[in-house]
Amino acid sequence: MIPDPEKFRNFELAGWQEIPSGYHDAFGPLTRQAIAPLLKAVRLKKGMSFLDIASGPGYVAAAAAKRGATVLGIDFSAAMVAHARRSHASVEFREGDAEELPCGNGLFDAAAMNFGILHLGQPEKALLEARRVLRAGGRFAFSVWAKPEETIGFGIVLRAVELHGEPRVELPEGPPFFRYSDPDECTRGLIVAGFESPAVTRVKQLWRLPAGDGLFNVMKDSTVRTAGLLRAQKPTVLEKIREEMRGALAKYTKGGIVELPMPAWVASAVKR
């Protein structure tokens, strides 16, 4: 349990309110790579009712609707909800908190959360909530990044901060960002929330960004916690971090593009 979940939530919310377009441009092509594995894990079929939790720009919701499900997307950021509505006019999106879903019990056949759980102050509550809104037999799946040694984009920025920056800047304390990057922790979390038959699968993902400062700019302008960490550094330190990141990207650069392995885990389980 973190010391002040409300403070962390407010920090996250303020961050997400600022970046829907930046997130969509930079992360959309990456996080969309987990949609097919998520929908496979929940065995989505035409006619099912489906909930996309922490829906952001609405990628998973839109994909589920395209497959014939009746879909609701929920996100706590009004700006993200507005972005999702503009992009997917025929899908329903609503403001709401993953830790206190504004939905009745047992309403959905399936639910998923794509890269949302690592942004929550109280992820255990969100897992309980996901289970509560499913009908008996319903399936839930969530995706998370693999550890930073494997998700090269995160590894490069964190290493650069470790080498040149102050990693313990004053930011509201949240749960460890890579907590669920361990398949055993995913399984444990699902079981503790009351789910059964957990399964965790690996998803290969590739992130293509402009070479040079592409990764630095994305991390500084289109994330929340990592952006907070970078923006809290002194300008001279930030410049060293930027240089370090450029250097580390050289071996992933082809032409004007960097290609970074960014694997993920998809964890799923059933409510009996």
Q: What is the binding site for ligand SAM (CB under 6 A)?
A: 12, 16, 27, 31, 54-56, 59-60, 75-77, 80, 97-99, 114-116, 119-120
- Give the relative orientation of helices 152-164 and 214-221 as an angle to the nearest 10 degrees: 80
Cα–Cα distance measured from residue 60 to residue 62, given in angstroms and rounded to the nearest whole number: 5
CA angle 198, 202, 208 (to 5 degrees): 145
135 token code pair: 């009908």
**Helix%, strand%, coil% for the chain, nearest 5:** 45, 25, 30
- Nearest-approach distance from CB 205 to ligand SAM, in angstroms: 12
Q: Which residue has the tokens 């494997």?
A: 150
- Name the helix (H) or strand (E) containing 236: helix 235-249
- Nearest-approach distance from CB 217 to ligand SAM, in angstroms: 17
Cβ closest to ligand SAM, residue 14 vs residue 163: 14
Residue nearest to ligand SAM (CB): 56
Residue 89 CB contacts under 8 Å (≥ 6 apart), including other chains: none
